[in-house]
Structure 1
Amino acid sequence: MHPTTRPPNRATLLFSGSAQGAVRAAADELADRWGVAVDLWSATSYKRLREEALAVERLNRLHPMEAAEVPLITRLLADGEGPVVAVSDYLKLVPGQVARWIPRPYHTLGTDGFGRSDTRDALRRFFEVDAGHVVVAVLHALSRAGTIDPAVVAEAIAHHGLNTEIADPGRADTVPEPGRSVGHED
């Protein structure tokens, strides 16, 4: 690709803490294999972003005659292109708490569910926050926006060997079968 040519598909990935490795690996794969340019943002505190946005809402509500302020997270993401996917090693609710201030389609991945005692990689795969699931989430969001064919998403699912029939890890009754690794076919 010529250096001045921008890829036709773009997305933004937000991450926090230990999700960084999977997100960076996904961003590399999205660019190299799928032609999707990705902006990476580290969100060190969704709680603080939410508090600031609520304070801005309050300020605007109590000062109706003044020009409205815009929350920081809205300003930071407003000029980007494509969907925003937030990845957390905490519940989806954590990055979800800023959803209403994200000015673009917003999707969250997190470790909703119940404790497991396996390797970190297997846990991330089980909770669908590993690089493969991040890639699929971005491609799916682009597909929903109509910018890529759903067949590309299916190809990524196959490429990563994701089992589309396993139970949702956020459900209390989700338990891997005895003797099987979590999150994928053996």
Structure 2
Amino acid sequence: MLCTANGTRLLTASTAQSAQICIDTLNNQQPPRSSPLYTVMAMANTLEFNPATCRQAWVIRGQSHSRRIATWPTWFARNRGEKPLLYLHSATSSAQLCSLSRGTEQRGILCNDIQTRPARWTRGAHPSLPLWLASNPHCTPYDPASGEETRAIVLAALHALYIEGRPGFYYLALHDQHDGPGLAQQDRADAIKGMYRIGREPPAPLHVRLLGAGYVFAEVVHAARLLEEDWNVSAQLWSCPSYTRLVREANAAERWNRLHPLAEKRSSHLRDCLAGNDSPVIAVTGYPQSVVDPLAAHVRARFVALGAGSVRPAAPDRYWITALALKALAEDGLIGPQQVERALQQYRLR
């Protein structure tokens, strides 16, 4: 068994082979549409109990307050060769998640179901947790809106971590709502990069762009309907499974352009998706607003960041999203402020 000097696990040819077996087995299944939580549970069951994969991957199900390696299966503690790792846990704070990631040597696919459990904080997570995720260079965090997005992310993570050998770990926030968007085959690569477009907006004289992630994406969809039906405003919808990945890539492109003034400028997935349009962009998250604030530096249009704490302690609902989209149009001089005032009264937001 090949190991580093400090005993951490190493990728071997058998690691890649195990990952490919897991990917092929999961791809051969045709699961029904489900929530992110139940999609991961079904994938975990396949990896753990299917004869083709039960010896090819580690599946750990546990609570994050358990910090001792001894509480894990003994074969994980004693086996220093790396296999694909899928860890289902419930971490409420950055301290718990930090401890957990140290235990996994900052490897694997960590799936957190805390937002499906009763808790004192928005989405079940302490406000420090999303900030820790965004600032940890070892972590690639995702907040999928649907089971289809979740499935694509787990498969991409298996390939990136255990076949390509990329460092770090993936993190998925899981909710149990079943009304997320579908994910077409041609959109999977864009979803992994951080955002992809949902459908086509109806014709209308006024336009906005609505971005959403996780369970709050359902409210974004409802806001798009309200804008169309009540205000004759067309909304272009984007599902954004990873705001953090979008920001990191955009920052990297900006940094490269700064250091290479004579070279052709690099773009980013965020800029490419939002190019050719100057209508307002409203980005919504169920986490605190600070998760989406960094996108503003890379959006060449009026930008509105919305999250928990922006207008109320919880994430903004469809009515707040609609009213603030109208406010963005008013600030661009495309409608009068009276329409914003009417929306606030009509939806009883004051």
TM over 0.5: yes
Give the 4+ runs in structure 1 shifted more than 4 A: none
Which residue in 2 is equivalent to 1:177?
none
Which residue in 1 is equivalent to 2:220?
23
Which residue in 1 is equivalent to 2:239?
42
Q: CA deviation at 1:58?
A: 2.4
Work out which of the residue numbers 316, 333, 336 in structure 2 matches 1:146: 333
Work out which of the residue numbers 260, 285, 300 in structure 2 matches 1:103: 300
Deviations 1:145-181 (A, max 9, x none): 1101111111111111111xxxxxxxxxxxxxxxxxx
Which SS does the other structure have where 1:89 is aligned? strand
Work out which of the residue numbers 205, 229, 249 in structure 2 matches 1:8: 205
Return the alpha-carbon distance in structure 2 between the equivalents of residues 128 and 151 of structure 1: 25
Q: Name the CA shift for 1:135/1:33 in 2 (closer, same or farther; >3 Å).
A: same
| 8 Å CA contact 1:71, 1:101 repeated in 2 | no
The answer to whether residue 273 in structure 2 is matched with residue 86 in structure 1 is no
Paired positions, count? 149
Which SS does the other structure have where 1:110 is aligned? strand
| TM-score, L = length of structure 1 | 0.75
Deviations 1:57-116 (A, max 9, x none): 222223221111122211211223410001110011111111100111100111038xxx
Which residue in 1 is equivalent to 2:94?
none
Work out which of the residue numbers 69, 78, 95 in structure 1 matches 2:266: 69
| 8 Å CA contact 1:78, 1:104 repeated in 2 | no
Deviations 1:7-46 (A, max 9, x none): 1110000000011111111100101110000001011111
Computing the radius of gyration from Cα coordinates, the structure with the larger value is 2
Deviates more, 1:76-85 or 1:6-15: 76-85
Return the alpha-carbon distance in structure 2 between the equivalents of residues 126 and 94 of structure 1: 15
Aligned residues: CA RMSD = 1.9
| 8 Å CA contact 1:95, 1:108 repeated in 2 | yes
Work out which of the residue numbers 245, 248, 252 in structure 2 matches 1:55: 252
Return the alpha-carbon distance in structure 1 between the equivalents of residues 315 and 217 of structure 2: 14
Which residue in 1 is equivalent to 2:345?
158
Return the alpha-carbon distance in structure 1 between the equivalents of residues 313 and 328 of structure 2: 21
Letter in 2 for 1:70: S
Return the alpha-carbon distance in structure 2 between the equivalents of residues 22 and 43 of structure 1: 14
Return the alpha-carbon distance in structure 2 between the equivalents of residues 102 and 125 of structure 1: 25
Return the alpha-carbon distance in structure 2 between the equivalents of residues 125 and 59 of structure 1: 38
Unaligned residue ranges in structure 2 (runs of 5+): 1-201
Return the alpha-carbon distance in structure 2 between the equivalents of residues 57 and 70 of structure 1: 8
Deviates more, 1:56-65 or 1:77-86: 56-65
